Amino acid sequence: MINNPFLPQRLVGRQTELEQISQILLADDDLLIAGVAGSGRRTLVKWAAHKAGARVITVDCLRATDGDRFLKLLAESLFNEFDRPEELVKLQQLLKDQPVTFVPSEQPKSRIVWKLSSVGLWSLFQNLLSFPQQMAEWLDCRVAIVLHNFTHIRSWDRKGEWEEYLRREIQLQSRVSYILIATVPEPWMHKLSLHVVELPPLSNAELCEWLEPTMQKKGLKFDSLNSEMESSHCTTALQLFTEYIQGNMSDAIALIRRIWLDSLTLINTQSEFLIQPYHVHQNMLALVEDLAPTFESLIMLLPPTQVRVLESLAIDPTVSPHSREYIQKHQLSKGGSLQGALDSLEQKGLVYGAKYGYRIALPTLQFWLKLRLG
Protein backbone atom coordinates (compact mmCIF):
# COMPACT_ATOMS: atom_id res chain seq x y z
CA MET A 1 0.00 0.00 0.00
CA ILE A 2 1.36 3.42 -0.97
CA ASN A 3 1.69 5.95 1.84
CA ASN A 4 -0.18 9.21 1.53
CA PRO A 5 2.34 11.97 0.71
CA PHE A 6 -0.37 14.58 1.01
CA LEU A 7 -0.84 14.26 4.76
CA PRO A 8 0.16 17.77 5.95
CA GLN A 9 3.38 18.09 7.91
CA ARG A 10 2.26 21.45 9.22
CA LEU A 11 -0.96 23.17 10.21
CA VAL A 12 -3.01 24.23 7.19
CA GLY A 13 -4.84 27.49 7.80
CA ARG A 14 -6.28 27.89 11.31
CA GLN A 15 -3.52 30.30 12.39
CA THR A 16 -6.01 32.52 14.19
CA GLU A 17 -7.50 29.53 16.01
CA LEU A 18 -4.00 28.22 16.82
CA GLU A 19 -3.05 31.44 18.59
CA GLN A 20 -6.40 31.57 20.36
CA ILE A 21 -6.21 28.01 21.70
CA SER A 22 -2.54 28.33 22.69
CA GLN A 23 -3.35 31.40 24.78
CA ILE A 24 -6.30 29.61 26.40
CA LEU A 25 -4.05 26.71 27.41
CA LEU A 26 -1.34 29.03 28.75
CA ALA A 27 -3.96 30.83 30.84
CA ASP A 28 -5.11 27.53 32.40
CA ASP A 29 -8.55 27.86 30.87
CA ASP A 30 -10.75 25.19 29.33
CA LEU A 31 -12.31 25.14 25.91
CA LEU A 32 -14.60 23.52 23.42
CA ILE A 33 -13.51 23.03 19.82
CA ALA A 34 -16.53 22.65 17.56
CA GLY A 35 -16.37 21.53 13.95
CA VAL A 36 -17.45 18.84 11.51
CA ALA A 37 -15.42 15.78 10.57
CA GLY A 38 -12.47 16.80 8.41
CA SER A 39 -12.26 20.33 9.82
CA GLY A 40 -8.93 19.63 11.56
CA ARG A 41 -9.95 19.58 15.23
CA ARG A 42 -7.45 16.93 16.35
CA THR A 43 -4.58 18.41 14.33
CA LEU A 44 -5.27 21.85 15.75
CA VAL A 45 -5.19 20.50 19.32
CA LYS A 46 -1.85 18.82 18.66
CA TRP A 47 -0.23 21.99 17.32
CA ALA A 48 -1.73 24.27 19.98
CA ALA A 49 -0.59 21.95 22.79
CA HIS A 50 2.91 21.87 21.32
CA LYS A 51 2.96 25.66 21.08
CA ALA A 52 1.81 25.96 24.71
CA GLY A 53 4.23 23.29 25.94
CA ALA A 54 1.40 21.07 27.18
CA ARG A 55 1.36 17.29 27.47
CA VAL A 56 -1.75 15.76 25.93
CA ILE A 57 -3.99 12.98 27.29
CA THR A 58 -6.71 11.91 24.87
CA VAL A 59 -9.85 9.87 25.52
CA ASP A 60 -12.42 9.07 22.85
CA CYS A 61 -15.58 8.58 24.90
CA LEU A 62 -17.23 6.85 21.95
CA ARG A 63 -14.99 3.85 22.67
CA ALA A 64 -16.12 3.70 26.31
CA THR A 65 -19.02 1.29 26.72
CA ASP A 66 -19.05 1.55 30.53
CA GLY A 67 -17.13 3.05 33.44
CA ASP A 68 -14.55 0.29 33.46
CA ARG A 69 -13.73 0.84 29.78
CA PHE A 70 -13.60 4.61 30.24
CA LEU A 71 -11.02 4.26 33.02
CA LYS A 72 -8.91 1.85 30.99
CA LEU A 73 -8.83 4.33 28.11
CA LEU A 74 -7.87 7.13 30.50
CA ALA A 75 -5.14 5.02 32.14
CA GLU A 76 -3.75 3.91 28.77
CA SER A 77 -3.52 7.50 27.59
CA LEU A 78 -1.79 8.54 30.84
CA PHE A 79 0.88 5.86 30.45
CA ASN A 80 1.29 6.53 26.73
CA GLU A 81 1.87 10.25 27.29
CA PHE A 82 4.06 10.01 30.39
CA ASP A 83 6.23 7.20 29.03
CA ARG A 84 9.74 8.28 30.02
CA PRO A 85 11.33 5.95 32.59
CA GLU A 86 11.25 8.47 35.43
CA GLU A 87 7.64 9.41 34.58
CA LEU A 88 6.51 5.78 34.60
CA VAL A 89 8.14 5.34 38.02
CA LYS A 90 6.21 8.37 39.27
CA LEU A 91 2.93 7.01 37.93
CA GLN A 92 3.60 3.68 39.57
CA GLN A 93 4.14 5.49 42.87
CA LEU A 94 0.82 7.28 42.47
CA LEU A 95 -0.86 3.94 41.78
CA LYS A 96 0.70 2.04 44.66
CA ASP A 97 -2.39 2.36 46.89
CA GLN A 98 -4.79 1.68 44.02
CA PRO A 99 -6.20 -1.73 43.01
CA VAL A 100 -4.37 -1.54 39.70
CA THR A 101 -1.52 -3.64 38.35
CA PHE A 102 0.83 -1.94 35.93
CA VAL A 103 2.79 -4.46 33.89
CA PRO A 104 5.81 -3.02 32.02
CA SER A 105 6.22 -4.52 28.57
CA GLU A 106 8.69 -4.50 25.71
CA GLN A 107 5.74 -3.75 23.46
CA PRO A 108 4.90 -0.09 22.63
CA LYS A 109 2.08 -0.18 25.19
CA SER A 110 2.44 -1.41 28.74
CA ARG A 111 -0.38 -3.49 30.21
CA ILE A 112 -2.73 -2.18 32.89
CA VAL A 113 -4.81 -4.73 34.78
CA TRP A 114 -7.63 -4.35 37.31
CA LYS A 115 -10.83 -5.98 38.38
CA LEU A 116 -13.04 -3.80 40.53
CA SER A 117 -16.51 -3.49 41.95
CA SER A 118 -18.62 -0.46 41.04
CA VAL A 119 -17.52 1.21 44.31
CA GLY A 120 -13.89 0.51 43.50
CA LEU A 121 -14.32 1.94 40.01
CA TRP A 122 -15.63 5.21 41.38
CA SER A 123 -12.68 5.56 43.77
CA LEU A 124 -10.21 4.78 40.98
CA PHE A 125 -11.97 7.28 38.71
CA GLN A 126 -11.46 10.06 41.25
CA ASN A 127 -7.82 9.15 41.76
CA LEU A 128 -6.98 8.80 38.06
CA LEU A 129 -8.44 12.22 37.37
CA SER A 130 -6.15 13.71 40.01
CA PHE A 131 -3.00 12.24 38.42
CA PRO A 132 -2.66 14.74 35.54
CA GLN A 133 -2.60 17.62 38.05
CA GLN A 134 -0.02 15.81 40.19
CA MET A 135 2.16 14.99 37.16
CA ALA A 136 1.93 18.59 35.95
CA GLU A 137 3.07 19.90 39.33
CA TRP A 138 5.89 17.35 39.54
CA LEU A 139 7.13 18.11 35.99
CA ASP A 140 6.31 21.83 36.18
CA CYS A 141 4.37 21.67 32.93
CA ARG A 142 0.86 21.98 31.62
CA VAL A 143 -1.44 19.10 30.74
CA ALA A 144 -4.34 19.10 28.31
CA ILE A 145 -7.01 16.40 28.59
CA VAL A 146 -8.83 16.03 25.29
CA LEU A 147 -12.27 14.43 25.46
CA HIS A 148 -13.80 13.41 22.14
CA ASN A 149 -17.52 12.65 21.96
CA PHE A 150 -17.88 13.57 25.63
CA THR A 151 -21.68 13.27 25.71
CA HIS A 152 -21.48 9.59 24.72
CA ILE A 153 -20.82 8.68 28.36
CA ARG A 154 -24.53 9.34 28.96
CA SER A 155 -25.24 6.03 27.21
CA TRP A 156 -23.95 4.21 30.33
CA ASP A 157 -23.73 7.00 32.95
CA ARG A 158 -27.50 6.92 33.47
CA LYS A 159 -27.54 9.04 36.63
CA GLY A 160 -25.04 11.57 35.29
CA GLU A 161 -22.62 11.06 38.19
CA TRP A 162 -19.49 10.60 36.10
CA GLU A 163 -20.37 13.52 33.84
CA GLU A 164 -21.04 15.80 36.82
CA TYR A 165 -17.75 14.87 38.48
CA LEU A 166 -15.86 15.49 35.24
CA ARG A 167 -17.50 18.89 34.92
CA ARG A 168 -16.36 19.83 38.44
CA GLU A 169 -12.81 18.70 37.70
CA ILE A 170 -12.79 20.78 34.53
CA GLN A 171 -13.27 23.88 36.65
CA LEU A 172 -11.06 22.95 39.62
CA GLN A 173 -7.70 21.73 38.33
CA SER A 174 -5.18 24.53 38.06
CA ARG A 175 -2.50 23.05 35.79
CA VAL A 176 -4.81 20.94 33.65
CA SER A 177 -6.88 22.29 30.78
CA TYR A 178 -9.81 20.28 29.49
CA ILE A 179 -10.56 20.36 25.78
CA LEU A 180 -13.94 19.06 24.69
CA ILE A 181 -14.22 18.24 21.00
CA ALA A 182 -17.70 18.27 19.54
CA THR A 183 -19.56 18.96 16.34
CA VAL A 184 -21.57 21.90 17.70
CA PRO A 185 -21.75 23.54 21.15
CA GLU A 186 -24.52 22.21 23.37
CA PRO A 187 -26.36 24.44 25.86
CA TRP A 188 -24.88 22.75 28.95
CA MET A 189 -21.35 23.41 27.69
CA HIS A 190 -21.84 27.15 28.04
CA LYS A 191 -22.56 26.67 31.76
CA LEU A 192 -18.96 25.52 32.26
CA SER A 193 -17.55 28.89 31.20
CA LEU A 194 -15.70 27.17 28.38
CA HIS A 195 -14.04 29.17 25.65
CA VAL A 196 -15.68 28.12 22.38
CA VAL A 197 -13.63 27.89 19.20
CA GLU A 198 -15.67 27.04 16.10
CA LEU A 199 -13.92 25.86 12.95
CA PRO A 200 -15.48 27.04 9.69
CA PRO A 201 -14.57 25.45 6.35
CA LEU A 202 -11.11 26.42 5.10
CA SER A 203 -11.03 29.18 2.52
CA ASN A 204 -9.87 28.34 -0.99
CA ALA A 205 -6.80 30.52 -0.41
CA GLU A 206 -5.84 28.58 2.74
CA LEU A 207 -6.37 25.27 0.97
CA CYS A 208 -4.36 26.22 -2.12
CA GLU A 209 -1.50 27.69 -0.06
CA TRP A 210 -0.86 24.14 1.16
CA LEU A 211 -2.07 22.15 -1.83
CA GLU A 212 -0.14 23.61 -4.76
CA PRO A 213 3.43 23.39 -3.34
CA THR A 214 2.66 19.92 -1.99
CA MET A 215 1.48 18.84 -5.43
CA GLN A 216 4.56 20.32 -7.05
CA LYS A 217 6.76 17.96 -5.04
CA LYS A 218 4.92 15.02 -6.64
CA GLY A 219 5.08 16.47 -10.16
CA LEU A 220 1.44 17.60 -10.27
CA LYS A 221 0.00 20.88 -11.38
CA PHE A 222 -3.51 22.13 -12.11
CA ASP A 223 -3.84 23.18 -15.73
CA SER A 224 -4.78 26.86 -15.63
CA LEU A 225 -6.29 26.63 -19.11
CA ASN A 226 -9.35 24.73 -20.16
CA SER A 227 -8.05 23.27 -23.40
CA GLU A 228 -10.74 20.61 -23.66
CA MET A 229 -13.65 23.07 -23.57
CA GLU A 230 -14.06 26.17 -25.67
CA SER A 231 -16.81 27.95 -23.79
CA SER A 232 -15.53 30.99 -21.88
CA HIS A 233 -17.58 30.13 -18.79
CA CYS A 234 -16.15 26.61 -18.35
CA THR A 235 -14.46 25.70 -15.07
CA THR A 236 -10.71 25.15 -14.73
CA ALA A 237 -9.36 22.08 -12.92
CA LEU A 238 -8.50 24.04 -9.77
CA GLN A 239 -11.90 25.72 -9.71
CA LEU A 240 -13.61 22.35 -10.04
CA PHE A 241 -11.43 20.86 -7.29
CA THR A 242 -12.27 23.63 -4.81
CA GLU A 243 -15.94 23.49 -5.81
CA TYR A 244 -16.05 19.78 -5.03
CA ILE A 245 -14.03 20.05 -1.79
CA GLN A 246 -15.71 23.15 -0.27
CA GLY A 247 -12.96 23.77 2.29
CA ASN A 248 -12.96 20.27 3.82
CA MET A 249 -9.34 19.29 4.49
CA SER A 250 -9.98 15.58 4.86
CA ASP A 251 -11.76 15.31 1.52
CA ALA A 252 -9.08 17.45 -0.14
CA ILE A 253 -6.37 15.02 1.00
CA ALA A 254 -8.37 12.01 -0.19
CA LEU A 255 -9.13 13.48 -3.62
CA ILE A 256 -5.64 14.79 -4.44
CA ARG A 257 -4.10 11.46 -3.41
CA ARG A 258 -6.46 9.64 -5.75
CA ILE A 259 -5.59 12.01 -8.60
CA TRP A 260 -1.89 11.44 -7.92
CA LEU A 261 -2.29 7.64 -7.94
CA ASP A 262 -4.23 7.94 -11.20
CA SER A 263 -1.43 10.03 -12.72
CA LEU A 264 1.09 7.26 -11.95
CA THR A 265 -0.80 4.90 -14.26
CA LEU A 266 -0.80 7.30 -17.22
CA ILE A 267 1.99 7.63 -19.76
CA ASN A 268 3.46 11.09 -19.29
CA THR A 269 6.75 12.32 -20.75
CA GLN A 270 6.44 15.83 -19.32
CA SER A 271 8.21 16.95 -16.16
CA GLU A 272 4.82 17.88 -14.69
CA PHE A 273 1.48 16.13 -14.92
CA LEU A 274 -1.14 18.72 -15.81
CA ILE A 275 -4.43 17.97 -14.07
CA GLN A 276 -7.42 18.61 -16.31
CA PRO A 277 -11.04 19.07 -15.16
CA TYR A 278 -11.93 15.54 -16.29
CA HIS A 279 -9.16 14.13 -14.04
CA VAL A 280 -10.78 15.89 -11.08
CA HIS A 281 -14.26 14.72 -11.99
CA GLN A 282 -13.36 11.10 -12.73
CA ASN A 283 -11.42 10.72 -9.50
CA MET A 284 -14.19 12.33 -7.48
CA LEU A 285 -16.55 9.76 -8.96
CA ALA A 286 -14.16 6.97 -7.96
CA LEU A 287 -13.77 8.38 -4.46
CA VAL A 288 -17.50 8.52 -3.73
CA GLU A 289 -17.95 5.08 -5.26
CA ASP A 290 -15.62 3.75 -2.55
CA LEU A 291 -17.57 5.67 0.09
CA ALA A 292 -21.00 4.64 -1.23
CA PRO A 293 -21.51 1.68 1.19
CA THR A 294 -20.81 3.97 4.14
CA PHE A 295 -23.20 6.61 2.85
CA GLU A 296 -25.89 4.01 2.11
CA SER A 297 -25.66 2.76 5.70
CA LEU A 298 -25.85 6.33 7.00
CA ILE A 299 -28.98 7.11 5.00
CA MET A 300 -30.69 3.95 6.23
CA LEU A 301 -30.10 5.01 9.84
CA LEU A 302 -31.57 8.49 9.44
CA PRO A 303 -35.28 9.28 9.90
CA PRO A 304 -37.12 9.95 6.60
CA THR A 305 -37.61 13.64 7.43
CA GLN A 306 -33.83 14.12 7.82
CA VAL A 307 -33.11 12.20 4.62
CA ARG A 308 -35.54 14.44 2.75
CA VAL A 309 -33.82 17.58 4.05
CA LEU A 310 -30.38 16.22 3.12
CA GLU A 311 -31.50 15.37 -0.39
CA SER A 312 -33.06 18.80 -0.85
CA LEU A 313 -29.91 20.60 0.27
CA ALA A 314 -27.76 18.37 -1.94
CA ILE A 315 -29.54 19.21 -5.18
CA ASP A 316 -30.68 22.71 -4.24
CA PRO A 317 -28.46 24.46 -1.65
CA THR A 318 -30.11 27.41 0.07
CA VAL A 319 -29.57 29.79 2.97
CA SER A 320 -33.33 29.84 3.55
CA PRO A 321 -34.67 26.29 3.94
CA HIS A 322 -37.56 27.71 6.00
CA SER A 323 -38.92 29.82 3.15
CA ARG A 324 -42.39 28.91 1.90
CA GLU A 325 -41.12 28.52 -1.66
CA TYR A 326 -38.36 26.09 -0.67
CA ILE A 327 -40.65 24.02 1.55
CA GLN A 328 -43.26 23.72 -1.20
CA LYS A 329 -40.70 23.00 -3.91
CA HIS A 330 -39.18 20.07 -1.99
CA GLN A 331 -42.32 19.02 -0.11
CA LEU A 332 -40.68 19.45 3.28
CA SER A 333 -42.43 19.43 6.64
CA LYS A 334 -43.27 22.83 8.04
CA GLY A 335 -42.36 24.54 11.29
CA GLY A 336 -40.80 22.65 14.18
CA SER A 337 -40.43 19.39 12.30
CA LEU A 338 -38.18 20.99 9.68
CA GLN A 339 -36.14 22.87 12.28
CA GLY A 340 -35.81 19.71 14.35
CA ALA A 341 -34.46 17.83 11.33
CA LEU A 342 -31.97 20.63 10.59
CA ASP A 343 -30.82 20.76 14.23
CA SER A 344 -30.37 17.00 14.38
CA LEU A 345 -28.39 16.93 11.12
CA GLU A 346 -26.21 19.74 12.44
CA GLN A 347 -25.57 17.82 15.68
CA LYS A 348 -24.49 14.82 13.60
CA GLY A 349 -22.07 16.99 11.64
CA LEU A 350 -23.90 16.42 8.35
CA VAL A 351 -25.21 19.95 7.81
CA TYR A 352 -23.90 23.39 8.68
CA GLY A 353 -26.35 25.56 10.56
CA ALA A 354 -27.53 29.09 9.83
CA LYS A 355 -24.06 30.56 10.51
CA TYR A 356 -22.63 28.86 7.41
CA GLY A 357 -25.73 28.81 5.29
CA TYR A 358 -27.51 25.48 5.89
CA ARG A 359 -25.40 23.43 3.51
CA ILE A 360 -24.17 19.86 3.62
CA ALA A 361 -20.96 19.72 5.64
CA LEU A 362 -19.37 16.69 3.96
CA PRO A 363 -18.62 17.45 0.29
CA THR A 364 -18.29 13.80 -0.72
CA LEU A 365 -21.71 13.07 0.80
CA GLN A 366 -23.27 15.94 -1.15
CA PHE A 367 -21.65 14.74 -4.38
CA TRP A 368 -22.88 11.19 -3.76
CA LEU A 369 -26.42 12.34 -3.01
CA LYS A 370 -26.57 14.37 -6.23
CA LEU A 371 -25.47 11.32 -8.20
CA ARG A 372 -27.95 9.11 -6.36
CA LEU A 373 -30.81 11.47 -7.15
CA GLY A 374 -29.84 11.59 -10.80
Q: Are both 193 and 210 inside the same structural domain?
A: no
Asked whether residue 254 is assigned to any structural domain, the reply reads yes
Give CA separation, 53 vs 26, 40, 80, 146, in Å.
8, 20, 17, 15
> Of 179-188, 275-284, 334-343, which has the strongest mean pLDDT?
275-284
Q: Are both 162 and 299 inside the same structural domain?
A: no
Q: What is the DSSP letter of 103?
A: E
Structural Rg of the chain based on CA atoms: 24
Q: Are both 323 and 212 inside the same structural domain?
A: yes
d(CA 46, CA 248): 19
CB 305 within 8 A of CB 333: yes
| pLDDT tens digits for range 35-60 | 988 888 888 999 999 999 999 999 99
Q: Are both 277 and 224 inside the same structural domain?
A: yes
Q: Are both 238 and 274 inside the same structural domain?
A: yes
Domain that holds residue 131: 15-198
Using 50, 70 and 90 to split pLDDT, how confident is the model at 356? confident
Q: Are both 125 and 187 inside the same structural domain?
A: yes
Asked whether residue 4 is assigned to any structural domain, the reply reads no
Asked whether residue 43 is assigned to any structural domain, the reply reads yes
| pLDDT tens digits for range 140-169 | 999 999 999 888 888 999 898 998 888 888
| pLDDT tens digits for range 192-239 | 678 899 999 999 999 999 998 999 888 899 887 654 444 444 568 999
Residue 332 has pLDDT above 50, yes or no: yes
Give CA separation, 123 vs 113, 120, 162, 182, 210, in Å.
16, 5, 11, 28, 48
Q: Are both 39 and 72 inside the same structural domain?
A: yes
Asked whether residue 289 is assigned to any structural domain, the reply reads yes
CB 315 within 8 A of CB 373: yes
Q: Are both 275 and 130 inside the same structural domain?
A: no
Give the chain's domain count.
2
Q: Are both 235 and 112 inside the same structural domain?
A: no
CB 342 within 8 A of CB 352: no
Query: Given the DSSP bridges, would you call strands 111-113 and 101-103 parallel, antiparallel or unpaired?
Result: antiparallel
Which residue type occupies 149? N
Please say whether the dihedral angle defined by the alpha carbons of residues 116, 122, 125 and 126, taken in this order, is positive or negative: negative
Asked whether residue 1 is assigned to any structural domain, the reply reads no
Q: Are both 84 and 110 inside the same structural domain?
A: yes
pTM of the model: 0.82
Give Cα 72 distance to the centre of its chain: 23
The CATH number of the domain holding residue 43 is 3.40.50.300
Give 210's contacts (C-beta < 8 A, 6+ positions apart): 8, 10, 12, 13
Last residue in a domain, options 164, 198, 232: 198
Both ends of the chain: CA-CA distance in Å? Answer: 34
C-alpha angle 213-217-222 in degrees, rounded to nearest 5: 60
- What per-residue confidence (pLDDT) applies to 235? 66
Q: Are both 325 and 231 inside the same structural domain?
A: yes
Last residue in a domain, options 159, 179, 198: 198
Last residue in a domain, options 145, 179, 198: 198
